[in-house]
Structure 1
Amino acid sequence: MKPLRCALRFAFVLLAASVQAQTTATEPWVRATVSPAQKATGLFVQLQSAQGGRLVAAASPAAGLVEIHEMKLVDGVMRMRALPDGLALPAGEPVQLKPGGLHIMLIDLKQPIKEGEAVPVTLTVEGKDGRRETLQLSAPARLMAAPMKSH
């Protein structure tokens, strides 16, 4: 009975790991604040969902409020707005969150974010089957003009 129980436990762990690994986040970073008065900043990252789904929520202990946003040119004016229904993640296609486009806003910052600091962020993705997974990110803070470092 013990070998069967061990095999079942191992199979469950593998299944749980495969459910958790449906979405990947690569090269996350947060824009460092430029003054103590700055109360918001952006998180940028590339997301890819194997099965497809939606980025439905984001949270960080560094901010009082975290929202999924887009910037878009409307009638010749660049406008930023929250996406209350989340962000579609088409199956197998990378979705780039970057300055001037899709991004995550960290609002009501609890303190300035200095270059080089790691900012914890949790993203919640809902798959097409309704299951949710969370991604725990540690996003380094960098200045807007700073080059990305390879890992």
Structure 2
Amino acid sequence: MSNTHNPARAILTRRGFAAVALGAMLPLALLATPASAHEYKLGELEIGHPWSRETPAGAKVAGGYLTVTNHGEEADRLIAVSSEISEKGEIHEMAVNDGVMTMRQLPDGLEIAPGEKVELKPGSYHLMFMSLKTQPKKGERFLGTLTFEKAGKIDVEFAVDAMGGEPEHSSHGNADDHSGH
């Protein structure tokens, strides 16, 4: 038998090439896509995964959490927060000193140094939404506005998790329970 041109083989080769090309491009496309569609960029700042927790009926406050990464060469400062669910927003720090947990408002805001990532999380830096107008419910989202000293304002959506938080947040227990606030 002689080795003759086989049209079926040519089609498979073209299809095989297209599949290989698509298979090679798909991982590159996934790398170019943000890991989460819940990230925001404002100048040199990157804000990652704003979230909150569902609150019990009658709660007057809720916490807000996120990350801020400063890709710039100058420090910036988160100086204000507001939301559609509360009358007032504040930036807070929680710490344990000599076995005593303290929480305080940061009236001058929170500095994000150049090249640094700051995580606002239960038991640490966090946002407080005070005098709630509505209770955040699991599975919902609410709008908030972050104001930075240099970069300006950005509107973000806070995803609301269960009262116990997402699995990766559950190890922090109820450190963000501000019912005594």
TM-score, normalised on structure 1?
0.77
Which of residues 128, 132, 136 in structure 1 aligns to 2:155? 136
Residue 40 (structure 1) aligned with residue 66 (structure 2): no
Measured in 2, the distance between the counterparts of 1:86 and 1:113 equals 24
- More RCO (CA 8 Å, sep 6+): 1
- SS of the residue 1:59 aligns to: strand
In 1: Cα distance, 2:65 partner to 2:165 partner:
14
Q: How far does residue 24 in structure 1 lie from its aligned partner after superposition?
A: 1.2
Q: Per-residue deviation at 1:20?
A: 4.2
Structure-1 separation of matches of 2:149 and 2:105: 18
Please state how far the C-alpha of 1:140 moved relative to its aligned partner: 0.7
Q: Which has more radius of gyration? A: 2
Match of 2:167 among 144, 147, 150: 147
Confirm whether residue 113 of structure 1 aligns to residue 136 of structure 2. Answer: yes
- Say whether 1:94 aligns with 2:117: yes
Residue 71 (structure 1) aligned with residue 94 (structure 2) = yes
Of 17, 40, 43, which residue of structure 2 is paired with 1:21? 43
**For the residues of structure 1 that align with 2:97 and 2:167, how far apart are their CA atoms?**
30
Give unmatched runs, 5+ long, in structure 1: 1-18
Q: Supply the distance in 2 between the matched residues of 1:63 and 1:121 (Cα, whole angstroms).
A: 10
Give the number of the structure whose residues are more often helix, by fraction.
2
Task: Report if aligned partners of 1:32, 1:114 keep a CA contact under 8 Å in 2.
Answer: yes
In the superposition, the TM-score normalised over structure 2's length comes to 0.65
Q: What is the CA–CA distance in structure 2 between the aligned matches of 1:21 and 1:112, rounded to whole Å?
A: 32
Paired with 2:137 and 2:85, the residues of 1 have a C-alpha distance of 12
The Cα of 1:133 is off from its aligned counterpart by 1.4
Moved over 3 A (4+): none
Work out the number of aligned pairs and report it: 125
